[in-house]
Structure 1
């Protein structure tokens, strides 16, 4: 046998609880429902960013710049 493995099942030694797990557990369990609020805030922020981006892209200066770029590309001489 080349590699030694730890015994599993009945013959395995019981896992010792680590002190940091007992200390950290109350902080982890204290934020029930937090993910739903984070998803809601993230969704609102994404919608606001989308609205801002849409207003910038449809603005006169961006449309004029894109139109000028396309016209310059179409009238280029080869």
Structure 2
């Protein structure tokens, strides 16, 4: 009986989806933070403005 109960507990995935959502959310927050750091640099901001200006002037 104890072995069957142990196997049932191991097969139970209750909470797995919540953990996956938490990991995906943390990855998205980390990526967003990285983008904020990159976009705050003057070089990247200048490059993006040049791209936008070139696109609008065509």
What is the 5 A alignment of 1:51-62?
51-62=33-44
Q: TM-score, normalised to structure 1's length? A: 0.46
Greater C-alpha radius of gyration: 1
Which residues of structure 1 form unaligned runs of 5+? Answer: 1-25
Structure 2: tracts of 5 or more residues without a match: 1-7
Higher relative contact order (CA 8 A, sep 6+): 2
Aligned Cα root-mean-square deviation (Å): 2.6
| Paired residue total | 50
**TM-score, normalised relative to structure 2:** 0.58
Higher normalized helix content (fraction of residues): 2
